[in-house]
Amino acid sequence: MLSKDIGIDLGTANVLIYVKGQGIVLNEPSVVAMESTTRRVLAVGEEARRMVGRTPGNIVAIRPLRDGVIADFEVTEMMLKYFIQKVGGRSWFRSPRILICGPTNMTSVEQKSIREAAEKCGAREVFLEEEPKAAAVGAGIDIYEPSGNMVVDIGGGTTDVAVLSMGDIVTSSSLKVAGDKFDAAIAKYIKNKYKLLIGERTSEDIKVKIGTVSPDGRDGEMDVRGRDMVTGMPQTVTVRSWEISEALSEPIMTIVTSAKTVLEQTPPELSADIIDHGIILTGGGALLHGFDQLLTKELLVPVLVAEDPMNCVCNGTGIMLDNLDKVARRRSTADAR
């Protein structure tokens, strides 16, 4: 039986797998639950995510990827192996070619660890591609044209800002400020203002349901439950959208500043193209209420949210799988340099 090429968006928050000819076949949280002493895996993905903050002391829910890179190599390998077998069963034993996406500023050590993890999962050949490039392709941009396109990809662990032309990145920036930092900022704000401790999942819930980037952008409120820092008892407070915009102001402005810097470093001809095409916003962070308007206002360039922002990188890997020979050629040219 012939092996199938597969694309993996190895995200800090979620792992998505694209199988050539089938589309996205898996989208699960990047979480592994295991026994702390024996390191025995108890659950992976969605099942493990449900355990975050709710496990007894001998069980830990680990997120093996932090800030877009592998923080725990052994657990990442277990997780990848589990997901690949889940979507392919025994049919993968024919050694697929695997295309994996990661942030633009991955070090050679980080690249090597991702490559090794995929090879141990049975990959015949491993290709690494930068996330903003895959995100742009997934958003429907023809990156191989001699024309400037700009992408801001806000994931769970990293935000990648890149200007692309002729299939390559011209200027870029990768920040460890993204969805996870938004959640942490919300938790910190509620802790300081209401003396209430909340978990990761609650912070994310608040961000999705009532989060916004401008004080007058959204008029929502939500009852938030947590532990009172003074009494130690469970407590409920009502939080409003304008408070969340206050909580998020610092990480949001860090991303805006990074996008400005990338634009300032872009050659004039490509800048003119970007004004014509607009900037494409991808990743889960693209769904944060009002972010596209804020970027338009700050950068003075139209900013458009991609059609399926959460899946852009994974859809991009799927399109790139059809051009793996082109990717391989470009990689060998780069290695020759």
Cβ count within 10 A of residue 229: 12
From CA 123, how far away is CA 3, in angstroms rounded? 10
- The whole-number average pLDDT for the span 36-44 is 89
Question: Is the domain of 306 the same as that of 322?
Answer: no
C-alpha distances in angstroms, 177 versus 142, 221, 226? 27, 25, 25
Question: Is the domain of 198 the same as that of 129?
Answer: no
State residue 226's pLDDT score.
96
Q: What is the mean pLDDT of the chain?
A: 89
Residue 317 lies in a domain: yes
**DSSP category for residue 212:** B
- Domain harbouring 219, CATH code: 3.90.640.10
Question: Is the domain of 111 the same as that of 56?
Answer: yes
Question: Is the domain of 21 the same as that of 126?
Answer: yes
Question: Is the domain of 149 the same as that of 296?
Answer: yes
Question: Is the domain of 128 the same as that of 44?
Answer: yes
Question: Is the domain of 16 the same as that of 79?
Answer: yes
The whole model's pTM is what?
Answer: 0.88
> Which of the residue ranges 81-90, 168-177, 192-201, 280-289 would you say has the lowest mean pLDDT?
81-90
Q: How does pLDDT run across 190-209, given as a tens digit for each residue?
A: 999 999 999 988 999 999 99
Residue 1 lies in a domain: no
Widest Cα–Cα separation across the chain? 64
Structural domain of 256: 142-177+251-310
Q: How does pLDDT run across 231-269, given as a tens digit for each residue?
A: 999 999 999 999 999 999 999 999 999 999 999 999 999
Question: Is the domain of 24 the same as that of 82?
Answer: yes
